[in-house]
């Protein structure tokens, strides 16, 4: 699994350089407009040249992007990759060999640069030449490797070029079944974030095409944009899945939601359906049922492969620069072969998926979002700065993060200890799923907000603020203080905070601190944190009259030190519910005047001891505190 964890980082690195391809596609599409009519006769050629040059320098872009993606944007790795590519191009051009830089070569040099940086970034040399140690050694090392590699490639190039074309012929000989296998594997690898690796092979390496200018281009995607009429077989079949199948699943989830939750689910999944239809970003919908019905995801992967087989047999050839969404469909339609057939196929696909998923959700009682109170994937884009510190705590704090990157739909983390990650808290904070890949590599799926979340988490890490983070003191549901049926707590006269409706008779400590007071009836307890916060936990409303161990039993005493999750009080849930006004259990800070700002997780179901339910930032005059 550690190997898979390393691959997911490589997959993310492959995605980084692809962000420039939409620009090439847009330029090429705009070049088809009648610019002469508006008095700009040279504009079409300028746009076409801008598109062409991106593909010419695509190997350099991949080398730079992959090296930066593997190293967290280390500049020395980026410089090394560009120097390596320059050496390769210089040597092969000087030898007058019929060798052109390809995306494969760029990827290889990018990987070597990234790996070299990780290997030598802490290299120590003798003091008199230490200037060339550490990261500065990486460009030198990669330059030497590129020199040797380029000399070697001069002898291997003819054979390699022949093998690339042959590999394309072998794959093509598989016909529709080969396309089906690609489609099936592609969807399965989406789960692990590794689909960019297999796509890279088919999109940028397999198959060759000689342009009118005599230049050879390799891979389904460059061949498509170069005008190869046979290119697009590994892209066309993705359009019906992303534009129609995933939106159909979203509508099925909406229609099977509970009536009381349907308005919220409708808003969330209409956005998810629109994102899939327009841009081809599918994970927000796929992860909504992946973890609760993995067998249904396998069916989805098989159907996706089957759709690709159908488009291949019908002679449909279409391509994209980013993903198979409606935007790419329209921009690149002028290059497609029988591309219009994708629309009627998509309508059939939509109907099949919609009926299948509505039947499966009902037949197997699949707990998709909206069918239970704990449904996730809520719409909370505006709360990202508000929740980022809580997400950071659920991951284990800044001390647990070794590396943090993001792609379109997920945070890609390498952590010191993935066992301390609070999955329940992350789901409560909006994560669609958490995937552990081994070796400390973890993915947290937040949909298209992932990059914004990463940025806010980085701000939280670097911001010098005294912050105290709270865990849930009970198992149950968190509610606002306003909902507590007591004017003293609801009016925040005792202090500010949150409350809980417990469904288990155990109260645990939400913070690290010292027990400073236990009320004689043991229905309430006070804790002082190292930062000076005084936290009051009060079990139920109007429970001070309930005395005796048959109601409450404290398992700690005044003066004890406690950690988050430590058991404080056991109580008879049924008796307290029956003989009190309410089970609402406030958790308030009685000296709220030292608090600068407050953050709360969504008011949803929580587990006992779950992290990231509340966070407070202390005023600067107090100092200290747990810092993020």
Active site residues: 407
Taking each helix axis as running N to C, give the angle between helix 175-190 and helix 137-173, from 0 to 180 degrees, rounded to the nearest 10. 140
Compute the C-alpha angle 516/521/527, nearest 5°.
20
Phi, psi dihedrals of residue 130, rounded to the nearest 5°? -65, -20
Task: Report in angstroms the alpha-carbon separations of 374 from 428, 585, 600, 601, 614.
Answer: 8, 20, 17, 13, 18
What are the tokens at 605?
């179901």
Residues whose CB falls within 8 Å of the CB of residue 293, separated by 6 or more in sequence, listed in order: 360, 364, 366, 368
d(CA 598, CA 600): 7
Contact 208, 218 (CB under 8 A): yes
Look at strands 567-571 and 410-415 and give their pairing: unpaired
Q: DSSP string covering 450-503, please?
A: HHHHHHHHHHHHHS--EEEEE--SSSEEEEEGGGSS-HHHHTTSS-EEEEEEES
Sheet holding 496-502, edge to edge: 561-562, 513-518, 524-528, 534-538, 585-589, 496-502, 476-480, 605-606
Tokens 């899939």 found at: 276
Task: Report in angstroms the alpha-carbon separations of 94 from 59, 99, 151.
Answer: 18, 11, 11
Taking each helix axis as running N to C, give the angle between helix 342-363 and helix 246-255, from 0 to 180 degrees, rounded to the nearest 10. 40
Tokens 């935007």 found at: 327
Residue 302, classified by CB atoms within 10 Å of its CB into exposed (0-12), middle (13-18) or buried (19+), is middle
What are the tokens at 543?
């429970």
Task: Report in angstroms the alpha-carbon separations of 72 from 284, 408, 425, 492.
Answer: 25, 16, 27, 45
- Give the 3-state secondary structure of residue 28: helix
């Amino acid at each position: 699994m550690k190997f898979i964890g390393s691959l997911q980082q490589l997959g993310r690195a492959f995605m980084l350089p692809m962000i420039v391809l939409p620009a090439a596609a847009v330029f090429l599409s705009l070049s088809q407009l009648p610019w002469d009519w508006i008095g700009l006769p040279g504009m079409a050629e300028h746009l076409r040249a801008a598109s062409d040059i991106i593909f010419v320098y695509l190997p350099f872009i991949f080398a730079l992007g992959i090296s930066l993606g593997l190293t967290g944007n280390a500049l020395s790795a980026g410089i090394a990759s560009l120097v390596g590519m320059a050496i390769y191009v210089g040597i092969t051009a000087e030898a007058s060999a019929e060798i052109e830089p390809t995306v494969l070569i760029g990827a290889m040099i990018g990987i070597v640069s990234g790996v070299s940086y990780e290997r030598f970034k802490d290299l120590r040399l003798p003091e008199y030449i230490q200037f060339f140690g550490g990261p500065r050694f990486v460009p030198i090392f990669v330059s030497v490797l590129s020199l040797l590699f380029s000399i070697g490639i001069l002898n291997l190039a003819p054979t390699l070029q022949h093998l690339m074309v042959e590999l394309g012929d072998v794959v093509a000989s598989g016909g529709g079944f080969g396309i089906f296998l690609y489609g099936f594997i592609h969807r399965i690898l989406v789960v692990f974030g590794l689909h960019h690796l297999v796509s890279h092979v088919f999109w940028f390496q397999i198959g060759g095409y000689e342009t009118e200018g005599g230049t050879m281009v390799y891979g389904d995607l460059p061949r498509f944009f170069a005008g190869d009429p046979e290119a697009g077989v590994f892209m066309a079949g993705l359009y019906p899945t992303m534009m129609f199948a995933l939106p159909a699943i979203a509508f099925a989830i909406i229609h099977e939601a509970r009536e009381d939750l349907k308005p919220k689910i409708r808003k969330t999944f209409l956005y998810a359906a629109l994102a899939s239809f327009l841009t081809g970003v599918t994970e927000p919908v796929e992860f909504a049922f992946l973890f609760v019905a993995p067998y249904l995801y396998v069916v989805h992967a098989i159907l996706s492969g089957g759709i690709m087989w159908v488009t291949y047999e019908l002679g449909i050839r279409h391509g994209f620069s980013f993903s198979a969404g409606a935007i790419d469909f329209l921009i690149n339609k002028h290059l497609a072969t029988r591309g219009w057939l994708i629309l009627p196929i998509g309508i059939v696909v939509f109907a099949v998926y919609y009926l299948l998923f509505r039947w499966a959700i009902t037949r197997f009682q699949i707990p998709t979002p909206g069918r239970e109170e704990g449904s996730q994937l809520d719409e909370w884009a505006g709360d990202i700065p508000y929740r980022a510190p809580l997400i950071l705590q659920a991951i284990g704090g800044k001390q647990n993060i070794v590396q943090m990157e993001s792609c379109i739909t997920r945070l890609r983390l390498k952590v010191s200890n993935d066992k301390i990650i609070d999955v329940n808290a992350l789901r409560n904070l909006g994560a669609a799923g958490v995937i552990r890949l081994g070796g400390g590599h973890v993915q947290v799926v937040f949909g298209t907000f992932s990059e914004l979340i990463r940025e806010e988490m980085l701000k939280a890490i670097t911001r010098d603020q005294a912050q105290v983070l709270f865990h849930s003191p009970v198992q149950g549901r968190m509610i606002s203080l306003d909902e507590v049926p007591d004017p003293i707590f609801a009016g925040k006269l005792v202090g500010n905070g949150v409350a809980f409706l417990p469904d288990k008779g155990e109260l645990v400590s939400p913070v690290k601190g010292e027990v400073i007071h236990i009320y004689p009836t043991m229905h309430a307890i006070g804790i002082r944190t190292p930062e000076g916060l005084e936290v009051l936990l009060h079990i139920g409303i109007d429970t001070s009259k309930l005395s005796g161990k048959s109601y409450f039993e404290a398992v700690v005493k005044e003066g004890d030190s406690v950690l988050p999750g430590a058991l404080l009080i056991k109580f008879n849930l049924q008796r307290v519910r029956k003989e009190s006004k309410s089970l609402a259990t406030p958790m308030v800070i009685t000296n709220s005047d030292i608090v600068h700002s407050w953050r709360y997780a969504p008011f949803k179901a929580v587990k006992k001891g779950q992290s990231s339910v509340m966070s407070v930032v202390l005023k600067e005059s107090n100092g200290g505190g747990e810092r993020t």
